[in-house]
């Protein structure tokens, strides 16, 4: 009888521990490619579990994809372009969605072209065909890029393309350049057999676009009800990035479990490109991951005003909330 009582108690304790795990499904912006490895690794390494969270990760279909998923409450957390969130909130001021942790301190928005087709710098786009997926985050920022570089947009033929056909069309010469994330389009072209020396990567951040990139976003109703869970989630995110930096092979191994068809070396290189160019910036090295520079963010809002007419007077406090970021040195990546 005592044995049965002890066993029943152990089962009850285990069930209680399992039920204590807060469910937090996470909506990505894109597919299971290299830059998603820190998140899949955080799941497999138990980093979320250590924070009392049960996290599942779902692929996305572009930079705009996660915003409505989180705003509707279908997902409590997601990964999305902060500039697109800003416009979404301007048009839907009561929507319960908010960026809470910056990941791409330097955005990967880019125009990727073929040198053999005459595209090496911004001015080369005039008179040529640009492939742009309508939901693409880089395409959303193209008007700012065009304005900063005095491009005659009427002289550019814009071809709406799908994500699956974007790089193949460029590889086949059907378009002369495409908008996309630098690490995605570049390596997709290499995988398709385009010689690396024939690829030009025009990073918008190097040509006058002073914006931030993708951030972790939360459903604010969920966050207000579960503040410790959100902080725990962000803690595990930072730990996942640090461990991916320290051991990219282990991070890519976790990614390949979700995408067995992926090329390990290619995705490892894609991850490293994101780390070097977008995550581990000088600002992050000095201040840690996750927060923003208020002056830079204010400048980004002003720049957005040049190509987008806000329906309401923009307020930076309505577009980013740092109150859920973990304290201590967990955000200091090295």
CB of 66 closer than 8 Å to CB of 28: yes
Query: What pLDDT, on a 0 to 100 scale, did the predictor assign at position 17?
Result: 39
Both structure tokens of 268: 């490892």
Given a cut of 50, the residues of the chain with pLDDT beneath it are 1-19
- What is the model's pLDDT at position 5? 38
Q: Which two tokens stand for residue 269?
A: 């290189």
Please tell me the predicted confidence (pLDDT) of residue 220.
98
Phi, psi (deg, nearest 5) at residue 53 = -120, 145
pLDDT of residue 307: 86
CB under 8 Å, gap of 24 or more: what pairs does 146-151 form? 147/306, 147/307, 148/207, 148/208, 148/209, 149/122, 149/123, 149/207, 149/208, 151/122, 151/123, 151/125, 151/126
Q: What is the pLDDT of residue 71?
A: 97
- Give the Cα separation of 235 and 164 in Å (integer): 33
All structural domains of the chain: 22-106+212-318 (3.40.190.10), 109-206 (3.40.190.10)
SS3 300: helix
Position 9 scores a pLDDT of 42
- Cα(5)–Cα(10) distance, rounded to whole angstroms? 9
């Amino acid at each position: 009888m005592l044995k049965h009582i002890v066993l029943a108690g152990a089962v009850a304790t285990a069930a209680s521990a399992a039920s204590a795990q807060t469910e937090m499904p996470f909506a990505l912006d894109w597919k299971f490619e290299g830059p998603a490895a820190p998140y899949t690794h955080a799941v497999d390494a138990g980093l979320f579990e250590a924070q009392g969270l049960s996290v599942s990760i779902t692929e996305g279909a572009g930079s705009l994809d996660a915003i409505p998923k989180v705003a509707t409450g279908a997902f409590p957390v997601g990964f999305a372009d902060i500039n697109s969130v800003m416009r979404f909130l301007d048009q839907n001021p009561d929507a319960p969605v908010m960026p809470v942790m910056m990941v791409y301190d330097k955005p990967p928005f880019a125009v990727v072209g073929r040198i053999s087709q005459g595209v090496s710098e911004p001015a080369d786009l005039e008179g040529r065909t640009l492939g742009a997926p309508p939901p693409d985050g880089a395409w959303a920022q193209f008007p700012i890029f065009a304005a900063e570089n005095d491009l005659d947009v009427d002289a550019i033929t814009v071809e709406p393309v799908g994500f699956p056909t974007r790089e193949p069309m460029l590889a086949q010469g059907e378009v002369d350049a495409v908008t996309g994330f630098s690490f995605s389009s570049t390596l997709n072209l290499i995988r398709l057999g385009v010689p690396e020396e024939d690829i030009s990567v025009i990073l918008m951040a190097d040509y006058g676009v002073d914006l931030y990139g993708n951030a972790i976003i939360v459903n604010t109703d969920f966050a207000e009800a579960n503040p410790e869970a959100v902080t725990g989630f962000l803690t595990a995110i930072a730990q996942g990035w640090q461990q991916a930096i320290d051991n990219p092979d282990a991070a890519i191994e976790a990614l390949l479990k979700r995408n067995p068809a992926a090329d390990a070396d290619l995705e490892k290189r894609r991850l490293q490109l994101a780390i070097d160019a977008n995550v581990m910036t000088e600002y992050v090295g000095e201040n840690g991951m996750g927060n923003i520079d208020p002056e830079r963010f204010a400048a980004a809002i002003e720049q957005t005003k040049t190509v987008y007419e806000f329906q309401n007077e923009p307020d930076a406090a309505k577009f980013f909330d740092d109150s859920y970021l973990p304290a201590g040195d967990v955000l200091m990546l090295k």
